[in-house]
Chain A
Amino acid sequence: MTPIETAIAEELRKIAPDIDAAEIDHAADLRDECDIDSMDFLNLVTALGQRYGLEMPEADYPQMRSFGNLAAYIAARAS
């Protein structure tokens, strides 16, 4: 895993500790893969935004649908 993927897995574990990050299909819908609801997703994005000092506005959520999308989104913006 890249450092960003590890960070996502760490934050995800605080919200859905029952999910094994190694089992997540990086191309599939993250909410389905991890059985998380809108609230959980919002908390995940907020935590990652704080961790990387990034604005991650709701308007961009469609670009963060899967684990892979989310990692790419952060990678493109985090310095």
Chain B
Amino acid sequence: MGETIIAKPADVRAHSNMPDYAAARAGFDWAAERALLSPLGEGRISIAHETVDRHVAEGNGGRTAIRWLGRDGERREYTYAELQRETARFAAMLGRLGLKRGDAVYGLLGRKPELYIAALGTLRAGCVFCPLFSAFGPEPIQSRLEIGAGKALVTSAALYRRKVAGLRDRLPALDHVLLVDGGEDAGPGCRDLAGAMAAEDGTGAPVPMQPEDPGLLHFTSGTTGKPKGVVHVHEAILAHRATGRMVLDLRPGDVFWCTADPGWVTGTSYGILAPLANGATLVIDEAEFDPSRWYAILENERVNVWYTAPTAIRMLMKAGKDMAAGHDFPALRFMASVGEPLNPEAVIWGNEVFGMPFHDNWWQTETGGIMIANYRSMDVKPGSMGRPLPGIEAGIVEVTEEGATEVTQPGVIGELALKPGWPSMMRAYLNNRARYEKAFRSGWYLSGDLAMRDADGYFWFVGRADDMIKSSGHLIGPFEVESALIEHPAVAEAGVIGLPDPTAGEIVKAFVALKPGFEASEELRLDLLGHARKRLGPAVAPKEIEIHDSLPRTRSGKIMRRLLKARELGLPEGDTSTLETGA
């Protein structure tokens, strides 16, 4: 590594929002950043004000905030002033329905304008917004709604019917289901969203919030136990705004396309909040990935800044350079990638096809915003996640029983850790204080990722410190998948691993052992796959299932995922001294 360096020309550096990384880092201060907010009196703030109302108040209400591209060619645009009115109507409706400050409103919807209005309208009302990925199956949806005690859900009639209706009696807190396409006859226990909003005039102001009041709830999977509800506060917008400016090089009026779905943290922090806080125009594409469509959007919408993910980039590479050759991207200024490490070939491919590299960066649901990045003004070492943001202290630590100790020697692998205190840091795992406290040791937040830092201060991802699976940039907890599999009547035990995949990074692979009386067959294997898909949805369900006579366990009875993976990949099996004999 480090043989290839993509150097940045002087004019690119000079025209970057942050022309000099070292100087910006030396001079950075979160207090100065806080002074850039537009406060609502008595130290109150609101994400809704920073992302929408502020621009209208500053005379930019006529600027396009959202440019929505429907799957079938339909287009819809909202100016900042229109977005202010729509989100105010949504917020007023929540009040009319009896929702109180701090109540949780969930979104389960494809990329429709209503989802963006619901997110911002929820924040405006002082409620907490929680996005769910629409490709989740009923089980991930139920556990997430339960843990967060969701009071209202914004979804579509089809998604509700397929994924939520059957759970409704197990969700006592869920008072309101609002259907974006409900019409007059929305169904029992449901309401038509447009009808419910119609009574509101859209003039109410955002509820002024304390900087430490919760605003966002994002779920992340764990290796054991239920998913964790990561709580972010209104002050997080400071980090969204600052990272949008320093990393994504966003400027007012820019056309910005983040391809992530708001069901995941990237699609909220950078698909909604950071660009709007910086006064940009969001491009939202409702359709799924499609190479020719994507090149056309980049060209025709004159995208200035593009934030995407390694899986998509690798699929574009597979589709071939010729497909890009017929297009011209004179407006494109900056390209970034997140989700999993971007392989050096993909960084370099970007440089060949678009005349600029993809800039990889690193962060997590828990960090709320970008923490380590490659910047427009900084030379890129393909394969590296870059260097910590101004205002962020990152380190490589060795974790022992005694605590976490920083390793300053370059090239040593350890756990990637951050010094707590940045504004978008998670404030809690909902109702799970013990797990939250475990994430912090000796004055460090421990990321669970293994990495190393080179002599120039660039960080390099090495792997996960635990059994978590990264597929298409999404973190999937093996426990959630195993739990669904063992609910099948034929399954005695299940072990789930991430299998390396050239496109998705990893895919979910499950190994199961059957209960006595069941015979392995192709029919049964397909039945298990269908069972997992129905419960978990395509985003979480395994892509491959293998039936084994037994699975390796430790003497204490835990399935050894690490060993399953080593065997699958033909790697040395490592220390198997705790292995139960006969497995």
State the A residues within 8 Å of B (CB). Answer: 13-14, 16-19, 29, 31-32, 35-43, 57-59, 61-62
Contact = CB atoms under 8 A, between A and B. Distances in A.
B135 A35 contact: yes
B378 interface: no
Contact of B135 (A16, A18, A37, A57): A37
Interface stretch (B15-23, B283-291, B477-485): B283-291
B71 A36 contact: no
Contacts of B311: 38
Contacts of A14: 526
Interface stretch (B27-35, B220-228, B395-403, B531-539): B531-539
A35 B526 contact: no
B6 interface: no
B526 A38 contact: no
A37 B538 contact: yes
B355 interface: no
A38 B315 contact: yes
Interface of B: 71, 135, 158, 162, 288-293, 311, 315, 318-320, 323, 472, 503-504, 507, 526-527, 529-531, 533-534, 537-539, 543
B154 to A, nearest CB: 19
A11 to B, nearest CB: 12
A12 to B, nearest CB: 11
Contact of B290 (A17, A39, A57, A61): A61
B530 A59 contact: no
Contacts of B533: 16-18, 35
B507 A39 contact: yes
B526 A62 contact: no
Contacts of A40: 538, 543
A31 B533 CA distance: 14
B interface: dominant SS:
helix
Contact of A58 (B315, B504, B526, B527): B315
B288 A16 contact: no
A17 B530 contact: yes
A14 B525 CA distance: 10
B423 to A, nearest CB: 33
Given A14-B526, A17-B526, A18-B530, A59 B292 contact: yes
Given A29-B71, A58-B315, A17 B529 contact: yes
B538 A18 contact: no
A42 B289 CA distance: 11
26 contacts: A13-B526, A14-B526, A16-B533, A17-B529, A18-B529, A18-B530, A18-B531, A35-B135, A35-B537, A36-B538, A37-B538, A37-B539, A38-B289, A39-B504, A39-B507, A39-B543, A40-B538, A41-B288, A42-B503, A57-B319, A58-B315, A58-B323, A59-B291, A59-B319, A61-B291, A61-B292
B544 to A, nearest CB: 10
A58 B288 CA distance: 13
Residue among A18, A40, A61 with max Cβ neighbours from chain B (10 Å): A18
A58 B543 CA distance: 21
A40 to B, nearest CB: 6
Contacts of B538: 16, 35-37, 40
A19 B507 CA distance: 21
Nearest to A39: B504
Nearest to B471: A39
A39 B503 contact: yes
Give the interface centre of B289, B311, B319, B537 by most chain A CB atoms within 10 Å: B289
Q: Which 7 A-B pairs have the closest CB atoms?
A: A18-B530, A17-B530, A58-B319, A17-B526, A37-B538, A18-B534, A38-B289
Contacts of A58: 291-292, 315, 318-320, 323
Determine which residue in A14, A17, A31, A41 has the highest number of CB atoms from chain B within 10 A of its CB, and name it. Answer: A17
A37 B292 CA distance: 18
Nearest to A41: B288
